[in-house]
Structure 1
Amino acid sequence: MNNQIQQADVVIIGAGPSGAVAASLLVNKGWRVVVLEQQVFPRFSIGESLLPQCMHFLAEANLAESVKEQADTLGFQFKNGAAFQRRGEHTAIDFTEKFTQGPGTTFQVKRADFDKCLADGAMEQGAEIRYQHSVIEYTDHGDGALLTVDDEKNQRYQIKGRFVLDASGFGRVLPRLLDLETPSNFPVRWAYFSHFEDNITDDKFDREKILINVHPKHNDIWYWLIPFSDGTASIGVVGKPSQFEDTAPLACLNEFIEQDTYLSELLARRVAIGEARTIKGYSANVASLYGEHFALLGNAGEFLDPVFSSGVTIALKSASLVAPLVDDYLQGKQVDFQAQYSEPLQQGVNCFRTYVAAWYDTSFQDVIFYSEQNQQVREMISAILAGYAWDLDNPFVKQSERRLNTLVELCRD
């Protein structure tokens, strides 16, 4: 091991969206930022349907224009809402018709290319990204934290950061190293998914919206269909472990597609691209989102469920919230990470949690498919599904559970 300890103001674990945004924000404050990424980009990742709120956070970090400029080349699909299908019932939500101010459109992205686009943008702004560098140990070290790292040549070194941000996503590096992981309060679910040439010929199918499709018999099983602009699509199915047979991922996914008449007809000419994948038991939580010299971003802290595509939005919100606090911390100012980071971030996460839980117990499904929707209420719900889960001026954010329960009762009556 190289005995000389390297130095940085901020070390970020992971070069995904939250890591790239945090790095961009902090280098523009003049700090030396080193990003340690275990993999090589581009690499596959799930979470391909962005929410409009993401565009605000990307703009903050000077990364939005790069995404827009490369969208056509990379097959990113313009997105303006979400469509829903359940046993022949069809409805849709337009994100431009929402209660909260801010972007109402975004993109459906191939994450390998999207994440590389953001990482490249962070490097152009001055962040140093080291690919194939794995953090294997973390210790508090005086006025910072000492990380032990294995590089791409399996050579070990140490780097000290005055502050560390864990943006490692599902890798959850610091939660594992510091024993911060706690059980999620969501039931264990599995997801099977793959990319396809979708060959959709139905003129009524709207490629500018993600399709969320409820299983014809089991309301707690759902499918996503995320179209891209190059004629391909990401397709997946989510359910409890007991609802899946022990078969190969692609065979399992195709079997579920065939169980739904609408999907099987819509996707009758689909051709799988590459391997199918599965994620099992993905929901996660932690005991704390921060420590003396670190904070957890995005999925490294908590991941709920993919049903409303909240993962990337929460990740980018966490980066946007924490970067100015780290800037203050490095300047020697007093920072309360509980009151200024953990609690505000959790407020939006809890709002999303309300709607995710209500989706699976079918109460929110009954709201979504209700035929006589009030336009003002519809715009408030649209804002949340567009990612604006931190807007406390929205009653369905501020009192999410109580308001939603009342709405469910009205719809069911």
Structure 2
Amino acid sequence: MDASPPRYRRFSRPGPAPQSAADLPAYTRRNTLAQPVAHREPVEHVYPLADGKGRPWASMTLRSSAKSGKSVPTFYEKEHINGSFQLSAEKGDSIQSIIATVTGRIVTGSSVDDTYTFHTQSVPLWSKADSRASGAATKLLGICVFPFSIPMPKAVSIKDGGRDTLFRLPETFLERHTRASVSYEISITVSRGKLRTDSQIKTRFGYIPTIRPDPPSLLRQLAYRENSLLPGPAVDPAGWSTSSTAVVSGTVFKTRQANVHCMLSLANPLSYTRGTVIPCRLTLESNDTQALDMFSAPSAPIATLRRCVRYQNPSTSSKREVDWMESFEDVCRAVWWPAPDQNDAPYSRCLEGEIKLPKDLTSTSSIGRFGISYTVVVSSFDTVGFSPSSSQPVLVEPVTIATTHARDSPRPNAYSPPAYAPLPVPRQHHDFYAVQATARMGR
């Protein structure tokens, strides 16, 4: 009588599922992630300003890279904020100056102390005093148009731990379930005399920095160009970053102890452009073949891209200590399939996988009291009959989320077979929680 344990392969999708790498359905390598992005012509956004009777007398026009004029204006790194200000000045209007101001802020709460301005830039469009000095007319009359082009800096210098530190401007970040936010605003202020009320037009806009990963290994680039299989760590060691070995211990069917050794490999460099994928490999080893079969089912490993938003709350701090808050969210999940190049070793299994990154994923950033970071986390294994002895994450590897593609390199391909389509973590059902950490001043 054959006493060998049954082999386990668990799949989360209905219908017949392949039982081994050799039974995988035939499919064509997809290259949907490598399509070039079409150049988008600037669109106009118009913001009118009306008087007390509802009659428009001034307007601000912005030209940006947004999808449409009804969307929030969007500007990329190295782009100028281009636009114009138009007003209809009546006789006797005591306008003293017209100033455009760009502001970047971090907001971590409802208190005034919870708002921190990390960037401000003012550009005078017109001044009565300057007109007088130059011999020009000192009063505005009729339809007047003032074009402007305001360059955004790539980085700003702010105090961090008592020292001036240069930080790249962070991407706009605003989510309903996260208290901290990064916002940018442009305003135009029309200043009048002491006894007259000033007027102002303002609007928020989106800012996207240029974060570019280094090119992948030459063998990986070749695979992308030829639309062929990605070489594994044994063939292309420069193309992968492999973690140290983690041991998952637990009980199999409540009858015996078992240990499974796990190693996670992520594609080098550990920086990935949103809208593409993170190539992954998971190596499992154990002398318990039943536990090994349970862990190597493609639906078993739970690996996610976890985002951490870390921010400071000065208004709740004492004089000597500063409170930091951290919120975590699993934004997308890896999909796995048996690696086609795995060996036939009886005590070893290898899964190939990828994490598909949303196109709207906020990029990695860090500036003073605010930061967004990412890690790939193997948190557990979804197996029936195995009870782990610990609920701690199995493996955690930091990664960077970029906004644009590597220079002079082919764009990554998606490799998951159709039978193993990605299972993204729905935004409305994200795993979200917050913890409070205390750090000394001068961090």
Shorter-chain TM-score tier? under 0.3
TM-score of the aligned structures, taking structure 1 as reference length: 0.20
Task: Kindly indicate whether structure 1 or structure 2 has the higher relative contact order, using CA contacts under 8 Å at least 6 residues apart.
Answer: 1
TM-score of the aligned structures, taking structure 2 as reference length: 0.19
